[in-house]
Amino acid sequence: MSTTSTVDRAFEAALYADTDAALDTGASLLAADPTADEELARRGREFVAGAWRRGWQPADVVRFVRRELEDEHVRLLARLIIEEYEDEYGNEQGHTAGKRQSPSPRWTAQLDDVRELAAHPTRTDRFSHATAALELYRLLLRLPTLEPLDRPRTTSGEKNSPHPESRMLSRIRALLAKAEATGFPEEAEALSAKAQELMARHSIDEALLAARTHSGNTPGACRIGVDPPYETAKAMLLDAVARANRCEAVWNEALGFSTVVGFEADLEAVELLHTSLLVQATTAMTKAEAAQRKGGRKRTKTFRQSFLAAYAHRIGDRLAAVAEAQVAEAEAEAGTHGGRAPEQDLLPVLAARDVAVRDQFTRMFPDTVTTRVRGVSDAVGWQQGAEAADRAQVRARPRLPS
């Protein structure tokens, strides 16, 4: 019996059926024929490539498989992703196969994370491995088509895709990491405030530079996971951060992520700030809940959902105020110099970028609906969440001397 027919028979038995008996039949066929291993892996790489054609990216697939299956499936998927990449682009020494254009920096960064997952060894028997492969392939086969995001970078050097992290963004990332790690609120506040200031100024500088050089950059998009529990409140927080940073976000509840549309500098700011604020919100919620328990109140799901929803609502107002203050400060500074070229007039530049983002968002998502927030009925949770948002480190501070 050929290896191809073994895999075909296993797929016919198990890949399109949902019963355990069918899965066991397919896995038994594969486990009994070691010569089918190579063909089974090749089919897996084809399923991975099919996911790319349907708009998925490495981080999206890993996140979804982790949500639906187990760690062994995630490790198997990671190995298939890396093998598919090496088939298309060559080995680590850079000898490319030339089948596709080189991947974008964002895609490459995701592959680096996947490569770490693929490095973890998997020790299992042949039947268990075959079962995991069939379960994974069955899930990959049924992935829906997503809106395409950033395309692989063209060989002509076109820069309408994520660029390598700048020194400014590295500094912002380091400041936020220190703010999350310190046990002293005053130090965290100073670090986060400086990070927020740098973030806003970086976005403004990027906008003015693009206008001055007529770069022709257009908005892009990225996907950010929204993990359980309390996904609705977390999606609200991400939406608030996105809007404050001149981006638009839409939440795909069924697949567990939000897509954020905006210019690259702003997308990077959203990713960094959302991650930091989610850590702050979760820490504040845990402390508030502990205080509630000391007062004799039991932990409740509605308390946590209400807390996070209120935090997201209030933080959105605060972030918007900070962003407006930074724009006003930049305008005032520019006005003191006088003689600006039209493309250096900040407000029209930002307005044009807002229109471009909204147009791109509408093209990608012509049909969106507003969802009702469920489970927000705890008045104490809402009040304490709003108070925690007021204490969050997003306030602007006077510019430090250079």
Distance CA 62, CA 194 (A): 34
Give the pLDDT confidence score for residue 60 in this predicted structure.
Answer: 96
Distance CA 371, CA 64 (A): 22
124 alpha carbon, distance to own chain's centre: 32
**Which of 261, 255, 259 has the alpha carbon at shortest distance from 228?**
255
DSSP string, 25-46: HHHHHHHT-GGGHHHHHHHHHH
Tell me if 154 is assigned to some domain.
no
Distance CA 143, CA 155 (A): 30
Tell me if 182 is assigned to some domain.
yes
Distance CA 203, CA 110 (A): 23
In this structure, the number of other CB atoms found within 10 A of the CB of residue 372 comes to 6
Which tokens in the block code for residue 118?
Answer: 């693929």
In Å, how far are 26, 120, 134, 135, 139 from 18, measured between CA atoms? 12, 29, 11, 9, 11
369 alpha carbon, distance to own chain's centre: 21
Which tokens in the block code for residue 15?
Answer: 């890949």
Cβ neighbours of residue 397 closer than 8 Å, sequence gap 6 or more: 190, 193, 194, 197
Give the pLDDT confidence score for residue 219 in this predicted structure.
Answer: 94
Give the pLDDT confidence score for residue 372 in this predicted structure.
Answer: 62
**Co-location of 220 and 348 in the same domain:** yes
**Co-location of 101 and 183 in the same domain:** no
**Co-location of 59 and 195 in the same domain:** no
Tell me if 158 is assigned to some domain.
no
**Co-location of 128 and 185 in the same domain:** no
* Average confidence (pLDDT) per 10 residues, the chain, 402 residues: 84 89 95 95 97 96 96 97 90 49 82 93 90 97 90 41 63 84 66 72 83 82 93 92 93 94 91 86 82 72 86 83 83 66 74 94 88 60 64 48 34
Give the pLDDT confidence score for residue 191 in this predicted structure.
Answer: 75
**Co-location of 135 and 187 in the same domain:** no
Tell me if 401 is assigned to some domain.
no
**Co-location of 29 and 137 in the same domain:** yes
**Co-location of 31 and 127 in the same domain:** yes
Q: Report the number of distinct structural domains present in the chain.
A: 2
Give the pLDDT confidence score for residue 400 in this predicted structure.
Answer: 34
Tell me if 157 is assigned to some domain.
no
**Co-location of 199 and 338 in the same domain:** yes
Give the pLDDT confidence score for residue 375 in this predicted structure.
Answer: 54
One-letter identity of residue 215: S
Domain of 231, in residue numbers: 167-391
**Co-location of 214 and 336 in the same domain:** yes
**Co-location of 122 and 69 in the same domain:** yes
Tell me if 152 is assigned to some domain.
no
**Co-location of 228 and 82 in the same domain:** no
Give the pLDDT confidence score for residue 86 in this predicted structure.
Answer: 92
Distance CA 332, CA 316 (A): 24
Which of 126, 141, 156 terminates a domain? The answer is 141
Mode of pairing for the β-strands spanning 220-225 and 248-252: unpaired
**Co-location of 123 and 178 in the same domain:** no
Distance CA 164, CA 143 (A): 30
In Å, how far are 116, 214, 370 from 110, measured between CA atoms? 10, 30, 30
Tell me if 75 is assigned to some domain.
yes
Distance CA 80, CA 40 (A): 11
Tell me if 188 is assigned to some domain.
yes
128 forms beta bridges with none
Which of 95, 123, 141 terminates a domain? The answer is 141
Cβ neighbours of residue 348 closer than 8 Å, sequence gap 6 or more: 342
Which of 77, 107, 141 terminates a domain? The answer is 141
